[in-house]
Amino acid sequence: MNEILFSAIQIIVVILLGLVSRYVIPWLKVKLDTEKASQILAWIQTAVTAAEQIISGESKGIEKKAFVTEYMNKLLKEKGISITEEQLNLLIESAVKALNTKGGL
C-alpha cells in the first residue's frame, strides 16, 4: 500500500513539475522581461530629461544624445543588462519624441 501511495505522489510531482516548466516559468520570464524593459525606458526618459536640462543651446542634439548614450551604456553595464546599440538608439529617439510632444519643446 505504501508503495502505491509513494508512486502516486511521484506521478503527481512529475505532473506538477511539467506544468510549472510549461506554463509558470515562461510566464515569469515574460513578466520579468516586461518589467526590465519598463525600467530601461524610465531610465532613458530620465537621462533625456537630464540632458535637456544640463546641455542648453540650439543645435546641441548630438551632444545630448552622446550624454544619454554614454550614461545609459554605463548604467546598463552596471546592472548587467545588455541591449543593442540600435535598440538603445530607438529608445532614446522615442523618449526625445515623447519629451518634445509633452513638453512643447
Q: How far apart are CA 54 and CA 57, in angstroms?
A: 10
The residue extents of the domains of the chain are 1-103
- What would the pLDDT profile of 55-97 be if each residue is shown by its tens digit? 987 778 889 999 999 999 999 999 998 888 998 988 998 898 8
pLDDT at 42: 93
83, three cell numbers: 541591449
pLDDT at 50: 93
Neighbours of 4 (CB within 10 A): 8
pLDDT at 103: 61
What is the distance of C-alpha 77 from the center of its chain?
Answer: 13
pLDDT at 48: 93
pLDDT at 66: 93
Q: Please name the helix (run of DSSP H) or strand (run of DSSP E) that holds residue 7, with its range, or none.
A: helix 2-19
- What would the pLDDT profile of 15-50 be if each residue is shown by its tens digit? 887 877 788 777 777 776 888 888 999 999 999 999
4, three cell numbers: 502505491
Radius of gyration, alpha carbons of the chain: 23
